[in-house]
Structure 1
Amino acid sequence: MPTPRRFFVADAAPPPETARYAHAVEVGDTLYVTGQLPIDPDNPQALLPPSIEAQTELVFRNLLRILDAAGYRLEDTAFARIYLSHFERDYAGLNAVYHRHFNDERLPARTTVGVAVLGRNALVEIDLVVARG
């Protein structure tokens, strides 16, 4: 029998713009959160903030809204995948914000990669795997 799945589209998170997808999919006690860009869910057409720090904070705000809608907590993150469009320039700024959200006692596993371009010409995108318990 297949594992039951629940799909979440959080009203408070940025709406899918050009592609159709769920903000998160739960399989068992694991939640897979779609990569989030620094889009203001209250004003999705607004220009993106200019700095990596401001963009990363907005990404975390979106991730937290999705986790809350699905009944999970950021502290339960098992894995984070981070994409940076200007890796060398923005890595330190990303980490300054990242470590405000994840303390040293509960750091998830992580991959950070440089990419050629992100949607909306964003500087950062982050997706998560979150597990209960």
Structure 2
Amino acid sequence: MTTTKQTFSFPQSQGVPPQVGPFAHATQWGNLLFITGQMPTDPATGAVVGDDIVTQATQVRKNLEAVLAQFGLTFDDALMVRIYLTSFEDYAAFNTAYASWFKGPLPSRTCVGVTGLAVGAIVEIDLIAGIANG
């Protein structure tokens, strides 16, 4: 079986924020979809939304959902989620918001503390989703 890599970038008109670096929004390899870390930026303006963890995490979720939607997927298709937080003081509040994002079983997850993120964000999230055989 031959598997090829396909990369995808989406315009802001599809609800996906503009790229802030040289990357694709998503890369598909077989039935796996790797989604680039999303920031808490408004797709229309590129500006960071909010200054608290819940507001920023909510915008990151919306941005990830916009990419997932391009493939007919939702958060319940996530297999692995990686979260970057600039302050672990936000950990509990983030977890409360995050747990509400899923209807089915939770995916595997890693949460990493970092000293800074692009665009001055306090949270960034990337994920790997599975694409079911139709």
TM-score by length of 2: 0.89
Q: Distance in 2 between matches of 1:102 and 1:33?
A: 17
The RMSD of aligned alpha carbons is 1.4
Structure 1, unpaired ranges of 5+: none
Question: How many residue pairs get matched?
Answer: 129
CA separation in 2, counterparts of 1:110 and 1:58? 19
CA contact (8 A) 1:79 1:129 kept: yes
Match of 2:37 in 1: 35
Q: How much does 1:2 deviate?
A: 5.2
Counterpart position of 2:93: 93
Give 3-state SS (helix, strand or coil) of 1:15's partner.
Answer: coil
Work out whether 1:13 is the aligned partner of 2:3.
no
* Large movers: runs of 4+ above 6 Å: none
Instruction: State the one-letter code of the partner of 1:111.
Output: T
Percent sequence identity is 39
- TM-score of the two chains, using structure 1 as the length reference: 0.90
Counterparts of residues 1-133 of structure 1 (less than 5 Å): 3-11=3-11, 12-17=15-20, 19-44=21-46, 46-87=47-88, 89-103=89-103, 105-133=104-132
One-letter amino acid matched to 2:110: T
Secondary structure of the corresponding residue to residue 73 of structure 2: coil
